Every structure is written in C-alpha cells, then in structure tokens.
Structure 1
Amino acid sequence: MAVTLLLDSPGTGSVAVQQSPLAELCACLHVFDEPGHHPASAGWVARAHAELDTALLATAAVWAPLWGAFRARYLLPLSAGSRRTLDDELREVAGLPIGDFVAMTAQALIGKNDTELGPRLGDDVLHRLRLISSSRMEIGARLRADPEGVRGELLDFLAAFAAAAFDAEWPALRRELERDGALRERELRRKGAMVLADFPTASVAGSATGSATGSATGASPGRLRLVFDKLYNATARVDDHRPCLLVPTVHGRPHFVIKHYPGYPVVIQYSADGTTTPTLETARRRLAALQDPTRLRLCYAILRNPVATAELATQLGMTAPQVSRHLRRLREAQLVHTHRRGSVVYYQLDADAIERLGPDLLSVLYR
C-alpha cells in the first residue's frame, strides 16, 4: 500500500519547506498522549506534566483523538507562505470554512481518509464513532450540534496549552527546525521536486506518459510519480496551484506524516534529525528472516564476533553453500554487517537492528 504523489516536472518549484509552530505544538500534544513511543521527548513530557494543572491535563485527554496517529488536517499548514507565528496559524484555523473544519475533524476521529465525509455529520458517522470509542462519539455529537462552538473550544485549549507548556520550548525548537529547513532548502534548490525522493520511504515510479498507466492515474504526460510506503492507498496531485509543503518536526519523530486533503496543500511532516521509520517491506523481510530456526542459530553464532562462512558451516554442521543461502537472507533483511580480509568475507549480526525490530515494527504500524 502506498501514497502516490503526481508532480509536474522536477523543476516547477511546487515543493517548499515550511516551518509550523502549530504542527510542532500538536506533535508535542501527540507525544504527551503517547509518551511510550517517543522516548526522545521524555524530558519535555516530564516538564509538561509538572507545569500543567489538572484541568488542562483533563482537557488535553478529551481532545487527544485530533492529534493521534491520524491527526486533523488543520493542525498542519493550511496554506503556503512566509513564516507564521502560532497566533497566525490559529487564526487561519478560525477562518477555515466550517464545512471543511467538520469534515477534517470527522476524518481524524474516524482515522481514515474518507472523502465521503461531508460538512454535516449524519447518524452513520456517529454510529461509526460509537463503535470506535464513546469519547470520539461524544466529540462527534458536539460537533454536529455546534461546530463553531467546538472549534472555539479547541482553539482556546490550544492557545492555553501553548502558553503553559509550549511557548517557552518553542525558541529552541525553532532553531533546530531552522537548521534542518536550511539544509532541505539547499537540496531543494539543487534537485527541485526530486528532493522528495530522498525520503527513505519514497521511491520514484517513473513518469506518466499518457499510456494506460497515465490515464488510470489522471496524470499528464511527463508527470513524475513518487510513491511513499504507507499503510493505505491514496493518490494526490502536486502542482503550482497545490504545492507540497515539507514540515520538519522535532517531537514528531519517528513518524512520517502525509496529508492530502482535497483543495489544500499536500503536507509532509518528517523528523528534523533524519530519524526515519523503516519501510513496511523492510520490517516484513526482517521478521521473515528470523522465523527460520537455522537463521536464528546463525544469528547466535555471529552475535559477538565476526565469523567466516566456512567456520559457520563447521559450527552448524552444514555445507558452505547452505550457510551462504541463509546469510544472504539475513543480508537482504539488513540484519548483518560484512567485511572482507583478503579473499575471506566475515559476517557479524547487527545487534542494533535486532534490538530495534520491536520499536521499528510499532513505528511502521503507527505510520
């Protein structure tokens, strides 16, 4: 499964780096709600808990579905432009057409890119929310009864939370985001839209040519197709009228978020430190490689010291070609290091990759 972005030729200038205090605020709120998956932010979570009063903590828990794994689209930049303050971005949310606000909120509550959700919530939507959780159904019911009131309460909470636990943190975060943004902008000037292919979850699928493939996607001739490994399928166009905004995040690591709500810029939020989640295929290969008992014995044999194939064959009572086939599977799964001395190749287990497999798998599922 994948999200496919259809771009005009790489030099169109339809991709831009954009810093967003609102996006980082909501990354902080996501970390606050799910701290176990974000150990690098543990210090900030501890400080926030110490500084917030119980009423604000309780309110944060009520709104948490809006910045969960599928966060509301309006919590990321709604338009391209010069640097904005948090107040600027909150005003932009306040000016969002109420129908779009309702539909974006419903998407976040359900956790799906459901394009059928309209500006009015029907009984079917509330029924779906009820099946997910009573707290989400309660927000949905309030949203249907008084959407403007819900928006006002949410914006008031975001401003209050920022004042209590984010504003003091923001200057340091901004400097880190600016450093990353400068590097990304330099690459953007050098590569154009092809900078998107640098993300580890991305692959270039070629350009549409007006063939059957082109007509199926609605792509025009010469349009570049970039495919991002995700846990759902979607296709979105990027052009001068609908740019792609690259939004770095500190507290959002290791998530890689793509938002493509119709009529608004495509937004990619990525880790500012370069931390990335492995692809679903990489996680699958690693799990498959470790299912075999013989490969587990090999892992044990090369855990502490590098060992040559011939010696491994002796230790395991196998032929060298048999050992080589199993080592190839471990190498393809990126679970071993190799180095050569003369004509002999030595293998050693990548213990860090094994240790990360649990968190990496969880990150894949969170994506």
Structure 2
Amino acid sequence: MANVIDITGLPPERIVFSPSPLAELGAALHVLSEPGHHPGLHGWATATASGLKPDLADRLHEADFLWRSSRSDLLLPAEPGATLAEDLDALDRIDDETFVAAAFEIACSSYGQPVPSPLVDAGERARAREMASARGPKQAAFVNRMLEDPDGLRIWLRRLLEDCDRAFFADTWQRVRIQLAADARHKAELLRHKGLGEALAATSAALSVTPDEGGVRRILVDKLAGGETTAAGHGVTLIPTTFGWPHLLVVYAPGRRPVIQYPIAAPDLPPPAALELVQRRMEALAHPMRMRLCRSLARGPHTTGELADGCGITPPEVSRHIAVMKKAGLLTTRRRGRYVLHQLELSTVARLGSDFLESVLR
C-alpha cells in the first residue's frame, strides 16, 4: 500500500524542504511519550524526562494524545517558521473550527476524510468525546475543555509548548537546527539539479515518484496505511527531523498542503526492508507448518530429509515450504558434500519481532 500525492503540473519550486521548530518539538514530545519506538534515543528521553518539573510532566500527559500514537496536524506546519514563536504565531491565526478539527484529525476522526468541525457538529462532538474517554480521564478532560472553551485551551496549549521550550527544547533546537537546515539545503539542491526522483530517494527509501505518464505524476509514500490527496494549488513541504526514526509522517488533510516529515538520522541498524518484503516475510511465517519448520531451523542447519522426518511430511512438501521462506529472505542455505543445509536467518527474524523469535527458540 502507499500514500499517494498527486503532483501533476506542480512546478519544482512548489516542493519545499524546510526545518520546523514546532515539528521538531512535536517529534521530541512523541519520543518522550513513546521511548520504546526510538531505541537510539533512550538516553535523551530518560535524561529529559527525569529533568521535567512535576507540573510540566502532568500537563504533558494531559495533552499527549496530540503526539503519542500519531502526530496532530497542528504540529506539522505546512509553512514552517524560522523560530518556534513564529510557528506558534501561525497557529494562533487559525480560526477555532479549523484548529479544533485539525487537533482531532488523527486522535478522534477518520484521518484524510473531510468531516465537520466538532464545534459545529453534534455527532462529531460526541465522537470526539467518546474516543477521548477511551484514552483516559486526563485526555477526556482536555478534549472537553477544547470543545467548551477553545480559546482558553489554545492559550493553555501555547503556554505548555513555550514551557517545553524553556525546560528542554531551546537547548535541543540549538543543537540540531544547523544539521536540519543543512539537510534541507542538500535535498533542495538535489531537487534543483538532479530532479525530484533523486531528491526523494536521498530523503527516504519509502519515497518515490512515478514517471510522467500522460501528464500525471505522483509521489508515493510506502506505508501500511493508504490514502490519496493532491498538491495542486498547494505544493508539498518536506520537514527533516532528528527525532523521527523510524517514523515517516504524512499529513494530507483535505484542502491542505501535504506535509511529509522524514528522519535524517537512525541508530546503527541495517537499512529497513521494503514494505513488500516485510509483508512477504510475515505471510511466510504465518503458515503453521512453516512455524514448525522454523523451530528446527532456528536451532541449526537441517537437510530437507531431516525436516520431513521431524515434521511428518514428505520431502517435496518441505521443499515447497523452504522455497517460500527463501524467497522471503528468511533462510540461509549452504552445501556440505551432497547435502544441502538450510538454517533460519535469526537476525532477519529478530527484526520482525522478538516474540516470534522467542517462541521458536523457547
């Protein structure tokens, strides 16, 4: 699957690479809420969280549905400012209905589908409250305040983000902003001199552009969630982040300029596999007989005959299962005399999930 951004007829100068202080703060807040998503940032998350004053930590928990599981559209500006104050000033200029709808776009609505603002639609208001309640009393109280007093809540939220800036983000931004600006300039130069395909390939392995066929051109974002939007009349903004890996975020709300936030740094891990290959591996491991074969293959090399005897099936059946697993890159094979030995590639399986690896090694 893929997110699709139609860029037919869009001039290259409408595709912009730019850092955003607000987007970087949003990414940092997500790391604080979900440090398990970011193995390379455990040290930063632990040190930062331990230094927060209790009042600030409580307020962050109250609002964290805006950045915990997904990032609110409000935190990914289509036209980034040079400072956090500029980004927050731009937020202040958004009318209440648009602001509230954007706040709930991911957390409490069907993302990418045009829906009425909860401020004017009773059904959408009830839906927002119901979904917020499922996230706990603090999030429910936050949503109620936003629906009943959006102006007051917006002042509260800005003050919260400004307090984060004073507590930890100003120092963090001072450290990363030059790196982010340099990356954005580099990608812009690639776009200018080598074209969009080269720029996207350098940005992320999950980004590509379709050939210009019949005048139609699209940016493809390789993600499990699918969606489609157009950049016509808007342009596209790509925002680098040092906190993003492994996430690649896409904002494509109806009538809004699409925004992509991409990571520029990752832990020292092997490059990610393509989504199609990951899906092939998951499908290969889902078969109950191949699960049984994995249990033997995880413990050492086996021949087809040994596997057949151990699982009570014929050698041709084993060969068919082995072929599927080899195609998915899950096995290594070597020859020893007249025997061909197969073994599970543990490092590959470990990247799919430790629970599965534990189950076959238990």
**Fold match by TM threshold 0.5:** yes
CA distance in 2, matches of 1:39, 1:147: 36
- 1:144/1:202 CA distance change after superposition, 3 Å: same
Overall identity of the aligned pairs, in %? 31
Relative to the length of structure 1, the TM-score reads: 0.79
Q: Count how many residue pairs are aligned between Structure 1 and Structure 2.
A: 342
Which residue of the partner structure matches residue 359 of structure 2?
A: none
- The secondary structure found in structure 1 opposite 2:161 is helix
CA distance in 2, matches of 1:10, 1:138: 43
Q: Which runs of 5+ in 2 are unaligned?
A: 357-362
2:141 is aligned, of 135, 138, 151, to 138
Paired residues of 1:74 and 1:93 also in contact (CA < 8 A): yes
Which residue of the partner structure matches residue 89 of structure 1?
A: 87
Paired residues of 2:22 and 2:75 also in contact (CA < 8 A): yes
- The secondary structure found in structure 2 opposite 1:168 is helix
Q: Which runs of 5+ in 1 are unaligned?
A: 210-221, 362-367
CA distance in 1, matches of 2:65, 2:222: 24
CA distance in 2, matches of 1:274, 1:45: 15
What do the CA deviations read for 1:123-177 (whole angstroms, capped 9, x no partner)? 3223213322334443333223222221111111001011102111223322443
1:151 aligns with 2:151: no
5 Å-filtered alignment, 1:246-285, equals 246-273=238-265, 281-285=276-280
2:206 is aligned, of 188, 201, 209, to 201
Q: What is the letter of the counterpart of residue 152 of structure 2? A: G
What do the CA deviations read for 1:277-303 (whole angstroms, capped 9, x no partner)? 656544432222113354345545555
CA distance in 1, matches of 2:200, 2:330: 27
CA distance in 1, matches of 2:342, 2:191: 38
Which residue of the partner structure matches residue 360 of structure 2?
A: none
Which residue of the partner structure matches residue 115 of structure 1?
A: 114
Q: What is the letter of the counterpart of residue 91 of structure 1? A: D
CA distance in 1, matches of 2:96, 2:172: 31
What do the CA deviations read for 1:103-136 (whole angstroms, capped 9, x no partner)? 1113243053241123724332232133223344
- The secondary structure found in structure 2 opposite 1:262 is coil
1:29 aligns with 2:29: yes
Paired residues of 1:78 and 1:92 also in contact (CA < 8 A): no
In the TM superposition, what is the alpha-carbon distance from 1:224 to its structure 2 partner? 0.8
Which residue of the partner structure matches residue 329 of structure 1?
A: 324
Paired residues of 1:289 and 1:295 also in contact (CA < 8 A): yes
Which residue of the partner structure matches residue 6 of structure 1?
A: 6
1:101 is aligned, of 99, 102, 110, to 99
Which residue of the partner structure matches residue 212 of structure 1?
A: none
CA distance in 2, matches of 1:273, 1:100: 33
Which residue of the partner structure matches residue 234 of structure 1?
A: 227
CA distance in 2, matches of 1:7, 1:266: 10
Aligned CA-pair RMSD? 3.5
- The secondary structure found in structure 2 opposite 1:258 is strand
2:307 is aligned, of 294, 304, 316, to 316
1:15 aligns with 2:7: no
Q: What is the letter of the counterpart of residue 122 of structure 1? A: D
CA distance in 2, matches of 1:296, 1:248: 40
Which residue of the partner structure matches residue 365 of structure 1?
A: none
Paired residues of 1:283 and 1:360 also in contact (CA < 8 A): no
- 1:208/1:148 CA distance change after superposition, 3 Å: farther
CA distance in 1, matches of 2:252, 2:355: 25
- The secondary structure found in structure 1 opposite 2:16 is strand
- The secondary structure found in structure 2 opposite 1:223 is coil
Which residue of the partner structure matches residue 66 of structure 2?
A: 66
Q: What is the letter of the counterpart of residue 259 of structure 1? A: V
CA distance in 2, matches of 1:270, 1:237: 19
Which residue of the partner structure matches residue 56 of structure 1?
A: 56
Q: What is the letter of the counterpart of residue 353 of structure 1? A: T
Paired residues of 1:11 and 1:193 also in contact (CA < 8 A): no
- The secondary structure found in structure 1 opposite 2:85 is helix
Which residue of the partner structure matches residue 352 of structure 1?
A: 347
Paired residues of 1:79 and 1:264 also in contact (CA < 8 A): no
1:286 aligns with 2:285: no
Which residue of the partner structure matches residue 163 of structure 2?
A: 160
CA distance in 2, matches of 1:89, 1:170: 14
CA distance in 1, matches of 2:272, 2:58: 31
CA distance in 2, matches of 1:7, 1:102: 28
- The secondary structure found in structure 1 opposite 2:353 is helix
Which residue of the partner structure matches residue 191 of structure 2?
A: 188
